[in-house]
Amino acid sequence: METELLQPEFQSLPLNWNANQKDIYYICEQYFKLSLRCAKNPELLKAFQDPSKTVAFLTDGKNKDGYVWKDTENEYWKGCGMKLPEHTKVILDYDTSWPTLYFTKKGNDQETITIKESPLFVQVFSSGSSGIKTIKRELLPESDESKVILPFNVGDLTNYEAILIMPCFIPDKDMLTKVYCNDKKEAAEIILTTT
């Protein structure tokens, strides 16, 4: 199998893409750029993994004190473009492939609402003293959006602790797998990596 990489001057989004597809592409592109930069810059990786700054990296690049990272003298990291509740805790996980968002109610009632993405489904369920209840399980249309309505109001977000488990694809943490044929052990026939 042969693959061909697009040259930057030839890269463009398909004309038939809708706004959702363009948003998905932009956020993924920004997250991938961030991952590549983290692989090359240990200080950036350290800043990205700082819980007080991670949400800013994923959203608009800002926290209360302004931008959290300056790429060059005149260019700030503008974020990946996600939108998250202000006090979301983010866990960067090397073993997960799709984001999962948890809302755990503060206080004695330990109800948790889980929003779990996968390539084919968005699943929403609650768990607590009354057991586990599926709120939504939807087969996703290709490159489109899924709408999840939480069972509480915007003002009630302060009553919940939000935790986002994000996949972490930083290339220097990845592995290269080389596959050889028995009769030609000096040259790999297949080379694999996740990024």
**What one-character DSSP code corresponds to residue 155?**
G
The candidate with the shortest Cα–Cα distance to 48, out of 79, 83, 88, is: 79
**CB 109 within 8 Å of CB 189:** no
Mean pLDDT score, 81-110: 88
**What integer best gives the mean pLDDT of the chain?**
84
pLDDT of amino acid 190: 80
pLDDT of amino acid 189: 81
pLDDT of amino acid 2: 43
Longest dimension (CA), the chain: 66
pLDDT of amino acid 39: 86
The candidate with the shortest Cα–Cα distance to 156, out of 104, 115, 110, is: 104
**CB 77 within 8 Å of CB 67:** yes
**Chain centroid, CA 188 distance in Å:** 32
Question: Given the structure tokens 């009769």, which residue do they identify?
Answer: 183
Full-model pTM: 0.77
E-assigned strands of the chain?
Answer: 62-63, 66-67, 89-93, 100-105, 112-117, 121-128, 131-139, 160-167, 177-179, 190-192
**pLDDT of 41 strictly over 60:** yes
Strand 160-167, strand 89-93: pairing? parallel
> Which residue did the predictor score with more confidence, 78 or 110?
78
Instruction: Measure the CA–CA gap between 8 and 11, rounded to whole angstroms.
Output: 5
